[in-house]
């Protein structure tokens, strides 16, 4: 099915190497959901164009003459766009994720990795999630007990639910899409009860102690054969049991 104009994500490419931009476009032009609105060769112009064009996605080189990629990211951090660093230098990875970049691609960029990155972003923006949600007949609210009273929450607020001993912590997005402003409610409702209420493709039991809202997920990572989901705009990593890794990759388009 073709994407509507409203679904199209505006993209800016920033790199001082023309060949690098050409390689990115060779893959990105294959996605109907993306529209490259600017190609920029230096950091100073990148800041101006990001502010002027208000893109949804920016692919950003790090080492450029004059203003570097990190400075561009800092100067435009107040704008709501998804950031992907594309660089030949692996040593910047930790600094890059400190800027809330959702991915870090090393040059020469493998087309398969770039495609995975794009699918992940489109999922996060809801282009894939919309189709998943149509399959769900579940209600909009979640009912939980905190031991003293019964509370009703909008399920869209839920980032993840964590089981700790006899209690569960429900981590909520208290300000729309700004997950970094999470609040927490302690509940005695069991994870099994939560899972039954949240019967939906957007919520998944990643681990015996965690249920996560995939709409808040931004990327998969792995370390020492352990797999995690990273939540948008946070440093939170949710562990994934080995039995669920394949399913999670499928849902996230990884």
Q: What is the mean pLDDT of each run of 10 residues along the chain (254 residues)?
A: 59 96 93 93 97 96 92 91 87 66 86 86 60 46 68 82 89 61 82 82 86 83 83 82 83 67
Domain residues of the chain, as ranges? Answer: 5-127, 138-252
Q: What is the pLDDT of residue 73?
A: 92
Q: What is the pLDDT of residue 187?
A: 87
DSSP category for residue 140: S
Q: What is the pLDDT of residue 7?
A: 66
Q: What is the pLDDT of residue 125?
A: 61
Question: Any idea which fold 5-127 has?
Answer: Rossmann fold (3.40.50)
Q: What is the pLDDT of residue 217?
A: 80
DSSP category for residue 168: E
Q: What is the pLDDT of residue 148?
A: 62
Q: What is the pLDDT of residue 174?
A: 64
CATH of 138-252, one of 3.40.50.1820, 3.30.1330.10, 2.40.50.1020, 2.40.100.20: 2.40.50.1020
Distance, CA of 95 to CA of 178 (rounded, Å) = 21
In 3D space, the residue among 176, 247, 244 whose CA is nearest the CA of residue 210 turns out to be 244
Q: What is the pLDDT of residue 188?
A: 83
**Residue 248, H or E segment:** helix 245-252
User: Which residues lie closer than 8 Å to 8 by C-beta, 6 or more apart?
Assistant: 32, 33, 34, 35
Q: What is the pLDDT of residue 5?
A: 42
Q: Each residue of 18-55: pLDDT tens digit?
A: 999 999 999 999 888 899 999 999 999 999 999 999 99
Distance, CA of 55 to CA of 208 (rounded, Å) = 39
Q: Read off the tokens for 153.
A: 């929450």
When computed from its CA atoms, the radius of gyration of the chain, rounded to whole angstroms, is 19
Q: Each residue of 146-171: pLDDT tens digit?
A: 666 667 777 888 889 999 888 899 98
């Amino acid at each position: 099915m073709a994407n509507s104009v409203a679904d199209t994500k505006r993209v800016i490419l920033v790199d001082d190497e023309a060949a690098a931009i050409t390689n990115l476009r060779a893959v990105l032009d294959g996605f109907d959901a993306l529209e490259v609105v600017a190609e920029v060769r230096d950091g100073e112009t990148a800041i101006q164009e990001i502010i002027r064009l208000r893109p949804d996605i920016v692919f950003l080189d790090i080492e450029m003459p004059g203003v570097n990629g990190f400075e561009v990211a800092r100067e435009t951090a107040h704008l709501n766009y998804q950031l992907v660093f594309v660089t030949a230098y692996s040593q910047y990875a930790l600094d890059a994720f400190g800027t809330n970049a959702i991915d870090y691609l090393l040059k020469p960029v493998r087309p398969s990795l770039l495609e995975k990155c794009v699918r992940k972003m489109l999922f996060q923006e809801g282009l894939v999630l919309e189709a998943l949600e149509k399959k769900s007949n579940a209600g909009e609210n979640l009912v939980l007990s905190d031991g003293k009273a019964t509370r009703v929450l909008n399920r869209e607020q839920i980032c993840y639910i964590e089981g700790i001993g006899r209690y569960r912590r429900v981590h909520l997005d208290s300000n729309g899409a700004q997950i970094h402003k999470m609040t927490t409610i302690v509940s005695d409702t069991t994870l099994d009860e939560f899972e039954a209420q949240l019967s939906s493709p957007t919520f998944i039991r990643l681990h015996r102690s965690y249920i996560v809202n995939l709409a808040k997920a931004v990327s998969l990572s792995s370390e020492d054969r352990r797999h995690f989901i990273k939540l948008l705009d946070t440093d939170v990593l949710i562990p994934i049991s080995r039995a669920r890794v394949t399913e999670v990759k499928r849902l996230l388009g990884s």
